[in-house]
Amino acid sequence: MRYSLAASLLVSSAACAPYAPLPVHLETRTEIDSRVANVHVTFNEPVEGELTYTYGRHCSGTHQLRDAHHTVARSNSNSESRLVWLMPKDAESGGCLSAWDSNGALVGRSEPQRFQTVKKRDLRKRDGGIAMTQDMGIDTWGPWFDGVKLLENKEISAVDAEAAKSKEVAIVGGGMSGLMTYLVLHQSGLSNLKILEASQRLGGRVHTEYLSGGPFDYSYQEMGPMRFPMTVSVANETYNVTDHQLVFQLAAEMNGLNGHDRNLSVDFIPWYQASPNGLSYNNGFKLPETGMPPTLAQIKQNASLAAPAPALDETTQKLQDAITKITSNETMMIEIATNMHKAHKDFIVNGLGGKGGEVWSEFAYMVNYLNATLNQTDIVVGSSADSSFWNSLYDNVYFSASTWSTIDGGLSRLPLSFHPLVDNVTTMDAHVDQVEFLDAEQRVRLSWKQKGAKDAAYQNATFDYAVIAMPFSKVKLWRLPMLPTTIKNAINNVPMESACKVALEYKTRFWEHLPTGPIYGSCSTSTDIPGVGSVCYPSYNLNGTDGPASILASYASGDWAVRWLSQTEDEHVQYMVDAMAEIHGDVAREQYTGRNNRRCWYLDPYEGGAWAAPTIGQHQLYIPEYFKTYSNMIFVGEQTSYTHAWIASALESGVRGAVQLLLELGLVDEAKAAVDKWMARWIEV
């Protein structure tokens, strides 16, 4: 269902009056549901001199230039072009668009335009392009796509659509946000797009490691994102997790573009988030009858088998209950699931306890507002003390999902599907680390050195616009002194979370044949062995009998992911080999093939971290900055989105960045079409 404005401007084309043929043809080609639109101009024959385009109430032949209600644009162009039509709030229904030559003679007239009720709005102008800002009608804290219907240009002007679509645009980074930006711009008709990728692969943090063979030999693990939440059940109702639907839509789009080629297809299979036979190995305890740790199902039947939870005193328990009530608020959970963008705005505006948006860290809220002691707060929040409640709210919804999906053959098949589309426009090994704005030319210069060439000179290329779709930690901005401090801080100061994963390969899927019952998929096995974190079994090729298979022996984030950096890869891997044998028994040591992979994202030369982790206040402060175009640069990536660490976050930012550029170029029709295709269909209000 499309997002609709409470009060909108509806324009329809009536049957054309029997005017004599005129040299200039004026028309609108899309439904106009706001005060901004593209008017398409076609010249049936040349007209000399400056043309004036107007809108007036009357459409008769006696209507003259002086009778116009307002001027739409002036232009000397005789090529097919567009106007950015900004409709004043007092424009009346039933008028026509007209074109006048330099002598005031009528040379073009549109069909009548009929208005319904118009939402009054203060239209203002801005120098330097179209502003996707709060003042200009763009809701940077929530449903930004609503603002596309309320945009305005810097001045009343004509747009050469062909020239606009021929602008040279660099997309710096071939991760999911960069690829999504490319797709939207490419499908909008931009013809001079270039992707500059620092590594030799597409996908960025989407990284499937194939320990043996290829995708359908089924011995792989996800060293980056792993899964997609689909539905969540709240108050006995099931809701789609709508922002993640963007992933499924993209996969369907790429499958169609690739003619459903099996070698490139992106097909979804269930991801098993939980298994009743997941093991709980704590305090070294194993059941004497099986020699195995108890399963979750056994603990459910006999709670005494569980590791004892620390007893909470009455006041600490009340604090725990209060925080759980906040993070599991059913109304907020439903809103996040059905419209994450609107939920984000509600959180920023209303906040907690009537105190506004991201004012509180969880620690500060408990100590300063709930008057909890430091000890109580430490017990309740632990390592999440400096987290924003917004992070806890959306993560609680996502990880409460009742159904999940993953990609058959690995998530890397999603960026793989882009290769036929982008290979001819992609330069690999272009590790851009310097950006400069050439004021005289109004162009962006990007510079990089060829990988491995210590003494090589920088390679340079200039573009009309650059979409920065790479981790901000990799961009050097000292050549951009004109950038305001806020955007510099937004780029330089947002910390990155650390995560380390270790994948181990085994000769068979022994975990599906344990004496305590088969473990099919899931990350249900837990342990107090330090530094292990989550243990995840594959959700693909269940009960497969051929060839080796792999498990994610360790998924650690936060403090432990940093601690592991002090260990060599061999030491880290051997620790996990030993830990898996301790949990599962000797079968794990016997079945280990010796093949493994460790990925610590802080060590990745192209990413520098696993996902963005803005501190309290940064999220609210910086998001509006990402909606501004500075020195012909637009910034995208999951770090610029409302949520972090998910593929959907990167894709959403790519759509926003593409729409932002389309609006900068005056391509309003294309911007609205992109929003309607990629965003509006998932929003329901």
Kindly indicate the confidence band of residue 1, based on its pLDDT and cuts at 50, 70 and 90: very low
Of 223, 171, 172, the residue nearest 198 (C-alpha) = 172
Residue 147, helix vs strand vs coil: helix
Say how far residue 398 (Cα) sits from the centre of its chain. Answer: 15
Amino acid letter at 654? G
Q: Which two tokens stand for residue 351?
A: 């906040």
Least confident span in 392-406, 450-464, 569-583: 450-464
Is the pLDDT score of 451 beyond 70? Answer: no
Q: What is the mean pLDDT of residues 559-566?
A: 95
For 261, other C-beta atoms within 10 Å of its C-beta total 11
Is the pLDDT score of 117 beyond 60? Answer: no
For 128, other C-beta atoms within 10 Å of its C-beta total 12
Least confident span in 141-145, 240-244, 250-254, 493-497: 141-145
Compute φ and ψ for 169, nearest 5 degrees. -125, 125
Question: What is the rounded distance in angstroms from the CA atom of residue 306 to the CA atom of residue 528?
Answer: 12
pLDDT at 627 (0 to 100): 86
- Give 285 or 157, the one with higher predicted confidence: 285
Question: What is the rounded distance in angstroms from the CA atom of residue 583 to the CA atom of residue 162?
Answer: 64
Kindly indicate the confidence band of residue 345, based on its pLDDT and cuts at 50, 70 and 90: confident
Find tokens 């790479």 and name the residue.
470
Question: What homologous superfamily does CATH list for 161-202+418-492+633-682?
Answer: FAD/NAD(P)-binding domain (3.50.50.60)
pLDDT at 364 (0 to 100): 79
Q: How confident is the model over 605-652, as pLDDT tens digits?
A: 899 899 998 887 888 888 888 888 889 999 999 999 999 999 999 999
Question: What is the rounded distance in angstroms from the CA atom of residue 228 to the CA atom of residue 219?
Answer: 20
Is the pLDDT score of 489 beyond 90? Answer: no
pLDDT at 575 (0 to 100): 98
Is the pLDDT score of 201 beyond 80? Answer: yes
- Give 572 or 329, the one with higher predicted confidence: 572
Q: Which two tokens stand for residue 1?
A: 């269902």
Q: How confident is the model over 363-420, as pLDDT tens digits?
A: 778 888 888 888 888 888 776 666 778 888 999 999 999 999 999 999 999 999 999 9
pLDDT at 156 (0 to 100): 42
Q: Mean pLDDT highest for which of 71-80, 218-227, 351-360?
A: 218-227
pLDDT at 293 (0 to 100): 97
Amino acid letter at 192? N
Is the pLDDT score of 9 beyond 60? Answer: no
Q: What is the model's pTM?
A: 0.89
Q: How confident is the model over 153-189, as pLDDT tens digits?
A: 444 467 888 899 999 999 999 999 999 999 999 999 9
pLDDT at 658 (0 to 100): 95
- Give 342 or 454, the one with higher predicted confidence: 342
Question: What is the location of CATH 3.50.50.60 in the chain?
Answer: 161-202+418-492+633-682
pLDDT at 37 (0 to 100): 78
- Overall residue count recorded for the chain in this entry: 685
Kindly indicate the confidence band of residue 477, based on its pLDDT and cuts at 50, 70 and 90: low
**Pair 502, 572: CB distance under 8 Å:** yes
- Give 639 or 684, the one with higher predicted confidence: 639
Is the pLDDT score of 12 beyond 60? Answer: no
pLDDT at 158 (0 to 100): 76
Average pLDDT, the chain: 85
pLDDT at 14 (0 to 100): 34
pLDDT at 355 (0 to 100): 56
Least confident span in 159-168, 268-277, 359-368, 540-549: 359-368
Q: What is the mean pLDDT of residues 593-604?
A: 96
For 236, other C-beta atoms within 10 Å of its C-beta total 5
- Give 619 or 480, the one with higher predicted confidence: 619
- 659-676: b (≥16 Cβ within 10 Å) or e: bbbbbbbbbbbbbbbbbb
pLDDT at 681 (0 to 100): 55
**Pair 610, 497: CB distance under 8 Å:** yes
Kindly indicate the confidence band of residue 479, based on its pLDDT and cuts at 50, 70 and 90: low
Q: How confident is the model over 54-96, as pLDDT tens digits?
A: 999 878 777 788 889 999 988 887 777 888 887 787 877 778 9
- Give 411 or 679, the one with higher predicted confidence: 411
CA 573 to each of CA 170, 420, 505, 577, 612: distance values in angstroms, whole numbers, following the listed order: 39, 36, 11, 6, 26
pLDDT at 125 (0 to 100): 29
Q: Which two tokens stand for residue 290?
A: 């099986």
Strands 12-13 and 113-114: antiparallel
Kindly indicate the confidence band of residue 473, based on its pLDDT and cuts at 50, 70 and 90: low
Q: How confident is the model over 424-446, as pLDDT tens digits?
A: 999 999 988 888 899 999 999 99
Q: Which CATH class is domain 12-123?
A: mainly beta
Q: Percent of the chain having pLDDT more than 90? A: 56
Dihedral sign for Cα 624, 629, 635, 638, please: positive
Of 598, 600, 601, the residue nearest 609 (C-alpha) = 601
Is the pLDDT score of 359 beyond 70? Answer: no
Least confident span in 308-312, 384-388, 411-415, 502-506: 384-388
- 633 sits in which H/E element: strand 633-635
pLDDT at 481 (0 to 100): 66
